[in-house]
Amino acid sequence: MADQFDLIVLGSGPGGYVAAIRASQLGLKTAIVERENLGGICLNWGCIPTKALLRTSEIYHYMKQADKYGLSVEKPAFDLEKVIARSRGVAKQLNQGVTGLMKKNKVTVYFGDGKITGKGALSVAKDGKTTELAAKNIIIATGARARDLPFAKADGKRIWTYRTAMTPPEMPTNLLVIGSGAIGIEFASFYNDMGAKVTVVEMLDRILPVEDVEVSDFMLKALTKQGMDIRPSTGVQKITDTGKGISAEIKGADGKVATEEFSHVIVAVGIVPNTEDIGLEALGVKTERGHIVTDPTCKTNVEGIYAIGDVTGAPWLAHKASHEGIIAVEAIAGQHPHAMNKLNIPGCTYCHPQVASVGLTEAKAKEAGHSVKVGKFPFIGNGKAIALGEAEGFIKTVFDEKTGELLGAHMVGAEVTELIQGYTIGKTLETTEAELIETVFPHPTLSEMMHESVLSAYGRTIHF
């Protein structure tokens, strides 16, 4: 006899475990199935441990600049093992936190490989033993994994994915990063600050391609100034592990192919959804380019099967997964949750300087037929930024000229990942420029630039 639940969540990443907690709050008897660590990639191998690493590189960066602040530090140095150990410790702490949350919310946890075996039926295989579970509804939250290059499999020796890059066996001296999305740029920033020579190649004509073009341009200059070799419109055609290092055939923007040597390479060319071996085919769950197709309440084409997070498509962000988890559970519980509005999902990149954005870029807004008002305010005009010694960056806002709707906000500079939520709340509440202009922002803070950027869009900037 199968263990009976109201809801089974397959995968315990930020989508799955949040869904399980919400389900429990709504009185559903809930099980969660995890093949590895509670918390999934996000807090074990993604968002959180990388932030721990980047905190180290940030402090290291400041130590090297101590003189600028009137301090002296004798020969700043680091111990790579301790750096990694701290990051792993942070991940472990949060992993235990999720374990505690599951217990507190009376969510039954099954470790093993979950597979949907029929309508409302799921089996969990572990060490040759199989446990059968049954539930009216199942949420698939299996996430995604790093995409491999077609010509070189990441092996963890000299060809790394994010996982090795987070627990490097040695410090790279001459690092090649393939791909300039958030993951590629964050690792590039970390290893550059830690002293490696870093080269970033990007197939598209600009780095951080999902961001506003002004952000991409700014970051290209900023990272180049920090000593990185950033190459847009460039592709890697072949990688060979020579035993001593990596030999890479690189086709440059000019179309010429050259072979270059590196010590290590990080592959960050996107993700592949985890849809294999979980029983989708037999049930006829519809997928499109590998991603599970869902409706606005995260329901798949099969009754009783929902899917959330990375496995359902872009943006591949933990907070998108969590929010979809809530939507799916509330729909299952018979509530009427609002569909996810992807234009209200912020995105953050924790390089140095940081990048954060929400909504439409200026170009996308115009493409969508909006006539826009654009505001922009530079960090150099902000007292707090100057006091922090972080006067590089800007905040850009895009409004619909006719309605005053805030269409998008794009920021680059210190701590902008903590600022973006202000605009996200504004967008979710559907504020227009009028409410943002009337809002009192505290002085002295970086957030004043958010105000100034809005004022700028309407020709009313005060401090620039």
Partner 1 sequence: MSIEIRMPALSPTMEEGTLAKWLVKPGDAVSSGDLLAEIETDKATMEFEAIDDGVVAQILVSEGTEGVKVGTPICILAEEGEDANAAPPAAEPAKPAAPAAKAAAPKPDPVPAKAAPAPAGAVPAAAAPAGDNRVKASPLARRLAAAQGVDLATVKGSGPNGRVIKADLGSAQPSAGTPAAAPEQAAPPKAPAPVAAQDVGIPHEAVKLSNMRKVIARRLTESKQTVPHIYLTVDVRLDALLKLRGELNASLEARGVKLSVNDLLIKALAVSLMQVPECNVQFAGDTLLKFSRADISVAVSLPAGLITPIVVDASAKGVAAISTEMKDLAERAKAGKLAPEEYQGGTASLSNMGMMGIKQFEAVINPPQAMIMAIGAGEKRPFVIDDSLQIATVMSATGSFDHRAIDGADGARLMSAFRDLVEKPLGMLA
Q: Is the CB of 434 or the CB of 462 nearer to partner 1? A: 434
Under the binding rule (CB under 8 A), the answer on residue 258 touching partner 1 is: no
Q: Is the CB of 387 or the CB of 434 nearer to partner 1? A: 434
Q: How far is the CB of 338 from partner 1 (least distance, A)?
A: 7
How far is CA 48 from its chain centroid?
A: 10
Q: Does the annotation place 425 within a ligand binding site? A: no
Smallest CA-to-CA distance from 451 within 377, 381, 389 is with: 377
Under the binding rule (CB under 8 A), the answer on residue 434 touching partner 1 is: yes
405 is written with which tokens? 């709707």
Q: Which of 338, 342, 443, 460 binds partner 1 (CB under 8 A)?
A: 338
Q: Does the annotation place 114 within a ligand binding site? A: yes
Under the binding rule (CB under 8 A), the answer on residue 209 touching partner 1 is: no
Under the binding rule (CB under 8 A), the answer on residue 431 touching partner 1 is: yes
Q: Does the annotation place 252 within a ligand binding site? A: no
Q: How far apart are CA 78 and CA 270, in angstroms?
A: 31
Q: How far apart are CA 460 and CA 246, in angstroms?
A: 54
Under the binding rule (CB under 8 A), the answer on residue 404 touching partner 1 is: yes
Q: Which of 4, 169, 403, 444 binds partner 1 (CB under 8 A)?
A: 403
Under the binding rule (CB under 8 A), the answer on residue 344 touching partner 1 is: no
Count how many residues are written for the chain: 464
Q: How far apart are CA 23 and CA 105, in angstroms?
A: 9
Q: Does the annotation place 276 within a ligand binding site? A: no
85 is written with which tokens? 């150990």
Q: Are 404 and 372 in contact (CB under 8 A)?
A: no
Q: Which of 226, 263, 432, 461 binds partner 1 (CB under 8 A)?
A: 432
281 is written with which tokens? 């085919």
Q: How far is the CB of 373 from partner 1 (least distance, A)?
A: 14
Q: Is the CB of 400 or the CB of 452 nearer to partner 1? A: 400
Alpha-carbon dihedral 17, 21, 22, 27, rounded to 10 degrees:
140
Distances (CA, A) of 261 to 5, 119, 250: 55, 53, 10
Q: In angstroms, how far apart are the furthest CA atoms of the chain?
A: 71
Among 47-55, 206-214, 290-298, 397-405, the segment contacting partner 1 (CB under 8 A): 397-405
Under the binding rule (CB under 8 A), the answer on residue 1 touching partner 1 is: no
Q: Does the annotation place 138 within a ligand binding site? A: no
Q: How far apart are CA 121 and CA 119, in angstroms?
A: 5
List Cβ neighbours of 255 (8 Å cut-off, separation of 6 or more).
Answer: none
Under the binding rule (CB under 8 A), the answer on residue 195 touching partner 1 is: no
Q: How far apart are CA 90 and CA 70, in angstroms?
A: 31
Q: Which of 402, 418, 425, 460 binds partner 1 (CB under 8 A)?
A: 402
Smallest CA-to-CA distance from 424 within 359, 338, 337 is with: 359
Under the binding rule (CB under 8 A), the answer on residue 429 touching partner 1 is: yes
List Cβ neighbours of 24 (8 Å cut-off, separation of 6 or more).
Answer: 30, 105, 106, 107
Q: Does the annotation place 84 within a ligand binding site? A: no
Q: How far is the CB of 367 from partner 1 (least distance, A)?
A: 12
Under the binding rule (CB under 8 A), the answer on residue 435 touching partner 1 is: yes
- φ, ψ for residue 383 (rounded to 5)? -60, -45
Among 87-95, 136-144, 382-390, 425-433, the segment contacting partner 1 (CB under 8 A): 425-433
Which residues are designated catalytic? 443
Q: Does the annotation place 184 within a ligand binding site? A: yes
Q: How far is the CB of 429 from partner 1 (least distance, A)?
A: 6
Q: How far is the CB of 426 from partner 1 (least distance, A)?
A: 10
Under the binding rule (CB under 8 A), the answer on residue 342 touching partner 1 is: no
Residue with tokens 């400041």: 62
Q: Does the annotation place 16 within a ligand binding site? A: no
Residues that bind partner 1 (CB under 8 A): 338, 402-405, 429-432, 434-435
